[in-house]
């Protein structure tokens, strides 16, 4: 992690202030300061425990009741249910309130952008949400807490009360297709922006990793804000390696000063 690059932050603030349509693409690095671990970083969940990756496979989840039981217990322990948004989340919400952020596309499933003040109607959750549960058989969706309560009460693998189908949190697992309508929203946002801020994402998970390329090919500027290398660093118009909450806080302060 590098010190704040004040000159680059000021330049990016100029771009944000002048842009017609700004889109943010966020990944796990935005939530790590809240205490939600990422997956692929040096301290990531899969980096430390590679065997955990199997728990995020749809095939394993559907075929193995023991995997489902482990996953439900893992969900109950997810820190996203007990932590709050950090200054990165609130800075992006303020950028929106200043009229400088049109759409926030996120790979995160923790709901912390909305908790931090972002308009839910402007947040595109491409990998779903842990705050809802869906039935893989009939498609019924409901709030997650009543299902979690069943798990706490001793039901290790709560089935759908309508069709007895397998339920899972409404997040996208390996081997599971993204919702086409949600993916289209994200694609349209990338196509229509003239500035994309890619923040806290490794930019290696497809198809979301294609969104910066889509924005670049449509003529947008790309700013990468991340603690680790990404495949887009060389193509980015600006690259910021400093602490994400501090960088976004400084960026919003500069934008606020420009638009008064």
The two beta strands, 128-135 and 141-143, are antiparallel
Using CB atoms within 10 A of its CB, is residue 69 exposed (0-12), middle (13-18) or buried (19+)?
middle
Contacts of 150-159 spanning 24+ positions with Cβ under 8 A: 151/72, 151/73, 151/75, 151/76, 152/76, 156/68, 156/69, 156/72, 157/65, 157/68, 157/69, 157/72, 158/72
Distance, in Å, from the CA atom of 124 to the CA atom of 186, rounded to the nearest integer, reads: 7
Closest to 108 in 3D by CA, of 38, 164, 42? 38
The rounded Cα 143 to chain-centroid distance in angstroms is 19
Check residue 53 and give left, alpha or beta (phi > 0: left; psi -120 to 50: alpha). Answer: alpha
Please confirm, yes or no, whether 206 is among the known catalytic residues: no
Catalytic residue among 127, 131, 187, 237: 127
Active-site residue set: 127
């Amino acid at each position: 992690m590098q010190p704040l690059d004040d000159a680059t932050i000021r330049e990016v603030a100029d771009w944000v202030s002048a842009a017609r349509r700004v889109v943010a693409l966020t990944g796990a690095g935005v939530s790590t300061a809240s205490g939600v671990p990422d997956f692929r970083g040096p301290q990531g969940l899969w980096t430390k425990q590679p065997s955990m990756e199997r728990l995020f496979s749809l095939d394993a989840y559907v075929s193995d009741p023991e995997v489902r039981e482990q996953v439900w217990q893992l969900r109950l322990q997810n820190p996203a249910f007990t932590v709050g948004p950090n200054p990165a989340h609130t800075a992006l919400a303020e950028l929106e309130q200043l009229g400088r952020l049109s759409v926030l596309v996120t790979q995160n499933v923790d709901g912390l952008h909305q908790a931090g003040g972002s308009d839910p109607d402007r947040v595109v959750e491409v990998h779903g949400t842990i705050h809802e549960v869906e039935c893989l058989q009939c498609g019924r969706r409901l709030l997650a807490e009543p299902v979690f309560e069943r798990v706490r009460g001793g039901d290790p693998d709560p089935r759908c009360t309508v069709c007895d189908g397998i339920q899972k949190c409404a997040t996208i697992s390996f081997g599971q297709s993204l919702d086409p309508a949600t993916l289209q929203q994200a694609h349209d946002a990338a196509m229509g922006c003239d500035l994309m801020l890619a923040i806290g994402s490794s930019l290696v998970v497809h198809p979301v990793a294609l969104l910066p390329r889509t924005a670049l090919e449509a003529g947008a500027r790309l700013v990468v804000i991340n603690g680790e290398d990404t495949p887009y660093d060389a193509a980015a118009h600006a690259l910021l390696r400093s602490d994400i909450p501090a960088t976004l806080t400084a960026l919003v302060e500069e934008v606020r000063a420009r638009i008064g």
